[in-house]
Amino acid sequence: MHFGSDNIVGASQPVLDAILAANSGAEPSYGADSVKKRVDKMFCDLFERDVQVFLVATGTGANALCVSAMTPPWGMCISNEESHINGEETGAPELYTGGAKLMTLKGDKGRLLPDVLDAYVRNLSPGFYQMPAKSISVSQLNECGIAYTPDEIAALSDVAKKYRLWMHMDGARFANALVHRKVTPAEMTWKSGVDILSFGATKNGALAAEAIVVFRPELAEAMEYRRKRAGQTISKGRLLSSQFIGYLENDHWLSNARHANAMAAELKAGLEKIPGIRLPWEVEGNEVFPVMPRKVFKALKDAGAVFYEWPTRSVAAADKPGADETMARLVTSFQTTADEVAQFVDVAAKAA
Ligand SMILES: Cc1ncc(COP(=O)(O)O)c(C=O)c1O
């Protein structure tokens, strides 16, 4: 019963097969390999336009590089208060930008809200002693497991454009959001106003591979230099590029995400039937956040389930856990089995 995160499982077989297929012979290093050229073409096809693609090994690296391309050292990047770039990247965006400020705003279930963003930027002091807003970042899925709709992204982009802010999407769980919303990668990103994307793959089947996908050529200008300075330019580049061959070919990434989402939907369906367990947030991907009695939490842990207690600052006042309750985060992956889900629900039901 492993629901701790989606990176606790290994890489998927097609990804490993693609690495092995790219492994023999000699190829130019540092991303000049023939596999990367194939991957570039795959991304252009996927996004239905020319895009520039920079591969890196970690999501934090991708996000920090994106923020640094959008935000000068004297500027601000704005996100929701739950954002991974603010809370879980150990200051990497601030480091890579050379000192920019990350500003976080309250929102709704992890969403950055257009009116809140507009009011915040409008009321910033114009003086030189106030860092100006230069960019925004949204996570898709967001940190509360919610998938923005293209309309919601477009509404944020309208505000961003009004104040000349670049817009980044942290797509660590892009595939899960995409299959939930049933839209195209283009609709989810540049057609809704996203300028630069961290396209996650590691959590959904890759070994260690994320792609920075750039929709605005200005943001790609210095990316080669930034990536090398960040230590994210992999020398045996084809072993990184090839992961995307296995990941994208035959829509493997979408099948993986559909499976993970289906497992999360089963968890939700099972848990919400149990008296005393409730879900304050919708399940729109592969994350489930049940509020449960502490005794149920303990029984699940005692039965060997792996999952974590989760902060509740973005839970509405009426839904906050009571004194004898706690909220958990459960994450499913492309390897989660229906049996694991059934076992978890069974233990929870008996304990409740
Ligand atoms: C929303 C979000 N963004 C980015 C990341 C990528 O982080 P990492 O540097 O661990 O690959 C994660 C991983 O937990 C995440 O949840």
| CA 166/CA 38 separation, integer angstroms | 28
What does residue 232 show for φ and ψ, rounded to 5 degrees? Answer: -110, 10
Nearest one of 63, 60, 37, 62 to 242, comparing CA atoms: 37
**pLDDT value for 103:** 98
For residue 147, the CA-to-ligand 1 centroid distance in Å is: 16
Closest ligand 1 atom to Cα of 83: 1
Q: Which residue among 170, 176, 198 is best mutated to probe the pocket of ligand 1, counting the most ligand atoms within 8 A of its Cβ?
A: 170
What does residue 149 show for φ and ψ, rounded to 5 degrees? Answer: -85, 160
First to last CA, the chain: 18
DSSP one-letter string for 53-109: EEEES-HHHHHHHHHHHH--TTSEEEEETT-HHHHSSTTHHHHHHTSPEEEEE--BT
**pLDDT tens-place values along the chain, 352 residues long:** 999 999 999 999 999 999 999 999 999 999 999 999 999 999 999 999 999 999 999 999 999 999 999 999 999 999 999 999 999 999 999 999 999 999 999 999 999 999 999 999 999 999 999 999 999 999 999 999 999 999 999 999 999 999 999 999 999 999 999 999 999 999 999 999 999 999 999 999 999 999 999 999 999 999 999 999 999 999 999 999 999 999 999 999 999 999 999 999 999 999 999 999 999 999 999 999 999 999 999 999 999 999 999 999 999 999 999 999 999 999 999 999 999 999 999 999 999 9
- Identify the structural domains of the chain with CATH numbers, from first to last: 13-251 (3.40.640.10), 252-351 (3.90.1150.10)
The rounded radius of gyration (Å) of the Cα atoms in the chain is 21
DSSP one-letter string for 309-321: E---TTS-GGGS-
For residue 84, the CA-to-ligand 1 centroid distance in Å is: 7
Q: Which residue among 6, 80, 84 is best mutated to probe the pocket of ligand 1, counting the most ligand atoms within 8 A of its Cβ?
A: 84
Identify the bridge partners of residue 53 per DSSP, sorted by sequence position: 213
The answer to whether residues 36 and 241 touch, using CB atoms and an 8 Å cutoff, is: yes
Mode of pairing for the β-strands spanning 166-171 and 287-288: unpaired
Q: Which residue among 88, 104, 332 is best mutated to probe the pocket of ligand 1, counting the most ligand atoms within 8 A of its Cβ?
A: 88
| CA 329/CA 170 separation, integer angstroms | 19
Residue nearest to atom 1 of ligand 1 (CA): 84
Residue nearest to atom 11 of ligand 1 (CA): 59
Closest ligand 1 atom to Cα of 139: 1
Nearest one of 334, 97, 113, 300 to 205, comparing CA atoms: 334
Nearest one of 289, 321, 269 to 144, comparing CA atoms: 289
